Structure 1
Amino acid sequence: MHIVADRDIPGVDTCFGEWGRLTRLPGREIDARAVRDADVLLTRSITRVDDALVADSRLRFVGTCTIGTDHVDQTALTSRGIGFASAPGCNAEAVVDQVLSSLLTIAEREGTELDERRVGVVGVGNVGGRLFQRLSALGIDCLCCDPPRAQAEGDDGYVDLDTLIALCDVICLHTPLIPEGRYATYHLFDDARIEALAPETWLLNAGRGECLDGDALLRRLSRRGDITAILDVWEREPDIDQALWQRVAIATPHVAGYSLDGKLRATHMIYTALADQWGMPKCHAFEELTPPPSLSRLVLDGGLTPWEALRLCVRAVHDVRRDHDRLALACRKRGMGAGFDGCRAGKVRRREFSTLTVELGADAADYASWLAAAGFSIHTSTIITDRKTP
C-alpha cells in the first residue's frame, strides 16, 4: 500500500507506517502527479481534493484530518468508488480554548470582564456547542443561532441571526461553509449585518473565512473603527487582505484548532476509519500517541480575582497573543501568503486546557468551579474535579 500524507499531520508514521510505503509532502504540493500511484491520501484543509486531483489515480481512500470538508469534492470521490472519512470534533476543544483566550485578552484590553457582556454563538455544532457550555458554566449570558438545528429540534433555545445581532455585544461565528441553499452561510455576515453591529461589539470568526464578507468588515473598521474584530479564518487564504489584517485586534493564521491533542485525535480518527472500512486490525490506541504535556501542574493560591486566576491559567497553556505576534512577524519578513502558510507549518506543541491540572491552596478553593468550567482539571486538598468533555 502506498500512502501519501500531508507532512504536517502528526502521528502518521505510528498509525499508518506499518501498513505500507509512506510519502509525506507539503499540503500545497499534493497534486495529481503526487497521488497517481497512491492507494491512500491523508490531507488537511489546504489541499483541494477534487476530480482533477483523483481522476488518474488508483486511490481507494481519502481521509482529511480536519473538522471541515468543504475542500473535498465528496461527489467526485463517491463516483469513483473512493472511500472517505473526516474527523468531526477532533479539534473542537482547541478552538474553544483559543476563543476563550481571545475573549479574555480583549476584555483585559478594554477594562471589562466577560460576564458584563452577552455572547451570541452562531453555529452550535461541535465547536459552538462546547463554547456555549463553557461560557454558560462561567455565568456568562449567551444566545444561540443555528437555523438547521432550530428546524430539527424546535425553536426553543434558539434565536434568529438578526435578533442575535441586535441583542448581543460579543458575536462568535462557528458555522461551516455552505455555498448555497436554504441554510447558505457564504457571506452570512454581509455588508448589511456588519453595518447592523452596535458600536463596541466584538466580532469573532473561527469558523470559515468566507462566512464573513471581509471587504464589508474592512469598510466598517476603516470608516468607523467602532467594533473589535478577532479573526482566525480569512477569505482567500493564504493571501489574505493586508489592509484588513492590519485593522483586526487579534489576527491569527487559521490555527484556532492547532493543538497537538486535536491533531493527534484527528489522525487517530482517520486511522480508525480506514481500519474499519478495510477490515484491518486497530493496533494503536489514541493514548499511545499523546506525550505528557510540558506543563502538567500549576499551583495556585489566593490573592487574585476569579477572572485574574482564569487568565493566568489560560495563558499558561495557550496565549493567543503569541499567534497574533507570530503572524505579524512572519508577514513582515516573508509577505502575506508565505508568512501565513509558514505559521501553519511545522511541529505543533500547543496543548489543550484539559492537560493542565491546577492545584488550589486553601485560599484559592473558590476558583475551583471557575477553572473547571473553563476546561482545566482541578485538584484541592479535599476534592478532585476532572473536566469531562461534553
Structure 2
Amino acid sequence: MLIVADENIPLLEAFFGDIGEIRRVSGRTMSPEDVRDADVLLVRSVTRVNCALLEGSNVRFVGTTTIGTDHIDLDWLAARGIRFSAAPGCNANSVVEYVLAVLSLYAERCVLSDWSRLTVGIVGVGNVGAELADKLLRLGFSVKLCDPPRAESEPEATDTFVSLDEALACDVVSLHTPLTRDSAHSTFHMIGEHELAALTSEQLLINAGRGEVIDGAALCERLDQAGAPLVALDVWEQEPRINPELVDKVWLATPHIAGYSLEGKVHGTEMIYQALSRFLGLPTRKQAGQFLPEPALSKVSFTSAADEHAAIRIALRACYDPRQDDARLRKAMRVPADERGNAFDRLRRDYPVRRECSSLKVQLKGTSKSLQDSFRAIGFKLKI
C-alpha cells in the first residue's frame, strides 16, 4: 500500500510506517503525478483535493490532519466512493492558547491589571470557539457568542447567541468561523466595510479562523482611517502570497500558526491514523501521548508574593509569546515580492517546537484559590 503524504505532517513513520510505504511530497505543489499510484492521500490545508488532483488515481482514502475542509471537494470524493476523514478539534486548544496569549498582550497594552475586565465577542462557536468561551468564562470574562447557523438549528438556545452586531460591540472580537460561500450564512467577507467601520480604536479584532472571512482590501483601507481598531491576524487572504501592506498595518501578524502547537499537530496525525485504521479494519495501538517528547521548560514556581495576573501572564508567555512569530513574519515580508510566498511557507514548514500549557507544571506555594482556579482553567498542571 502506498501512502502519499504532505511532508510537513508530523510523525508519519511513527503512525503509518507499518501500514504502508510512505512517500513524502510538498503539500503546496502536490500534483496528479505525485498521487497517481497512491492508495492513501494525507494532506494539510495547503493542498486542494479535487478532481484535478485525483482523477485517474488509485486513491481510496483521503485524510486531512486539519480541522477545516474547505480545501476538499467533498461532493466529488463522495461521488467516487473515496473515504474521507478530517481532524475536527485536533488543534482547538492550541488556537485557544494563541488567543489567550494575544489577550494577555492586549491587556498589558491597555494597562489593565485584571484582563478579565475585557468583554469578548466570539464569532463562530464550533470546536475552537466553544473551548475558548469555556476557558474565558472560567477565568471570569464576560463573553458574547455569535453563531447564526447554531442559533437557527438550536431554537432552545435563543438566550445563548447574539447577533453579529452585538458581538462586534465587545472590547475584543475573536473570529473562529469556517469559510463558507454558498450557504444561508456565508462567511466569505463576513467582516467587510460596514462591520469594520463600526469598530473603534478601543477595540481589538482577532482572526485565527480563515483569512477570507475578512475583506482584506476593506481592512487595509479602514486601518488608514481615524479611530481604527487594533487587529491581530494569524490567517490571511491569498496565502501564501499575502499582502505585505496589510502586515505593516496590523498590530500583530503571525503566519497561520495559531494551531501549530506540537500537541495539536500530533493529535491531528493521530486522528487520521485512527480513521485510516478503521477504514482498513486494523487495530489502533498508537496514541499521540507516547510520541510527545519532554518539554524544554517543565516547571515554574510562584510563591504567595506573586501577583495573580502577573503570574498568569508570565506562565502563558513561558509557553508562547506571539511577538516572536510577529517579528519573523515581518522580516519575511522584506524579501523581494516574488519570494514572499515561499518565505511565508518556510515559516510554517520550519516552525519551532511550541508546547501547550498542559506541558508545564506550575508549582504554587501559599497562593490564593483564585490563582489556582485560573491556572486550572487555562490548562496548566498544578503542584500545590
User: Is the contact made by 1:232 and 1:254 (CA closer than 8 Å) also made in structure 2?
Assistant: yes
Cα distance between partner residues in 2 of 1:35 and 1:377: 43
Q: Does the alignment pair 1:241 with 2:243? A: yes
Q: TM-score, normalised by structure 2?
A: 0.95
Moved more, 106-115 or 221-230: 106-115
Q: Which runs of 5+ in 1 are unaligned?
A: 381-390
SS in 1 for 2:221: helix
Q: How far does the alpha carbon of each residue in 1:5-41 deviate from its partner, in whole angstroms, 9 at most, with x for none?
A: 1111111101111112111112112111100111111
User: Is the contact made by 1:331 and 1:338 (CA closer than 8 Å) also made in structure 2?
Assistant: no
Cα distance between partner residues in 2 of 1:129 and 1:181: 22
Q: Which residue of 2 aligns with 1:145?
A: 146
Cα distance between partner residues in 2 of 1:114 and 1:373: 14
Q: Which residue of 1 aligns with 2:18?
A: 18
Quick one: which of 327, 331, 334 aligns to 1:332?
Answer: 334
Cα distance between partner residues in 2 of 1:309 and 1:265: 29
Shift of 1:301: 1.6
Q: Which residue of 2 aligns with 1:178?
A: 180
Moved more, 156-165 or 355-364: 355-364
SS in 1 for 2:250: coil
Cα distance between partner residues in 2 of 1:357 and 1:152: 41
Q: Which residue of 1 aligns with 2:118?
A: 117
Shift of 1:347: 5.7
Cα distance between partner residues in 1 of 2:367 and 2:266: 37
Q: Which residue of 2 aligns with 1:275?
A: 277
Cα distance between partner residues in 2 of 1:61 and 1:213: 35
Shift of 1:336: 2.7
Q: Does the alignment pair 1:159 with 2:167? A: no
Cα distance between partner residues in 2 of 1:174 and 1:193: 16
Quick one: which of 305, 315, 318 aligns to 2:317?
Answer: 315
The residue type equivalent to 1:162 in the other structure is D
Q: How far does the alpha carbon of each residue in 1:241-297 deviate from its partner, in whole angstroms, 9 at most, with x for none?
A: 111110111100000000111111000100000111121122312222222222222
Shift of 1:326: 1.4
Quick one: which of 176, 179, 199 aligns to 2:201?
Answer: 199
Identity of aligned residues (%): 45
Cα distance between partner residues in 1 of 2:26 and 2:352: 15
Q: How do 1:373-388 and structure 2 match up within 5 A?
A: 373-380=377-384
User: Is the contact made by 1:251 and 1:324 (CA closer than 8 Å) also made in structure 2?
Assistant: yes
Q: Does the alignment pair 1:342 with 2:346? A: yes
Cα distance between partner residues in 2 of 1:153 and 1:240: 37
User: Is the contact made by 2:95 and 2:258 (CA closer than 8 Å) also made in structure 1?
Assistant: yes
Residues 253, 301 of structure 1: alpha-carbon distance in 2 compared, 3 angstrom cutoff: same
Moved more, 36-45 or 296-305: 296-305
Cα distance between partner residues in 1 of 2:115 and 2:148: 26
Cα distance between partner residues in 2 of 1:300 and 1:117: 25
Shift of 1:216: 0.9
Q: Which residue of 1 aligns with 2:262?
A: 260
Q: TM-score, normalised by structure 1?
A: 0.94
Q: Does the alignment pair 1:305 with 2:307? A: yes
Q: Does the alignment pair 1:356 with 2:356? A: no
Cα distance between partner residues in 1 of 2:133 and 2:146: 11
Q: How far does the alpha carbon of each residue in 1:98-136 deviate from its partner, in whole angstroms, 9 at most, with x for none?
A: 001011112212322422221100011110001111111
Cα distance between partner residues in 1 of 2:305 and 2:71: 49
Shift of 1:364: 5.9
Cα distance between partner residues in 1 of 2:283 and 2:167: 48
Shift of 1:180: 2.0
Moved more, 182-191 or 361-370: 361-370
Residues 259, 266 of structure 1: alpha-carbon distance in 2 compared, 3 angstrom cutoff: same
Q: Which residue of 2 aligns with 1:130?
A: 131
Q: Which residue of 2 aligns with 1:50?
A: 50
Residues 360, 27 of structure 1: alpha-carbon distance in 2 compared, 3 angstrom cutoff: same
SS in 2 for 1:29: coil
SS in 1 for 2:58: coil
Q: Which runs of 5+ in 2 are unaligned?
A: none
SS in 2 for 1:359: strand
User: Is the contact made by 2:247 and 2:330 (CA closer than 8 Å) also made in structure 1?
Assistant: no
Supply the RMSD in Å over aligned alpha carbons. 1.4
Shift of 1:226: 2.8
User: Is the contact made by 2:193 and 2:219 (CA closer than 8 Å) also made in structure 1?
Assistant: yes
User: Is the contact made by 1:8 and 1:346 (CA closer than 8 Å) also made in structure 2?
Assistant: no
Q: Does the alignment pair 1:32 with 2:32? A: yes
User: Is the contact made by 1:119 and 1:169 (CA closer than 8 Å) also made in structure 2?
Assistant: yes
Shift of 1:365: 5.7
Moved more, 6-15 or 286-295: 286-295
Q: How far does the alpha carbon of each residue in 1:168-211 deviate from its partner, in whole angstroms, 9 at most, with x for none?
A: 12100000001122111111111101111133110000010011
Cα distance between partner residues in 1 of 2:177 and 2:333: 27
User: Is the contact made by 1:258 and 1:350 (CA closer than 8 Å) also made in structure 2?
Assistant: yes
Shift of 1:299: 1.4
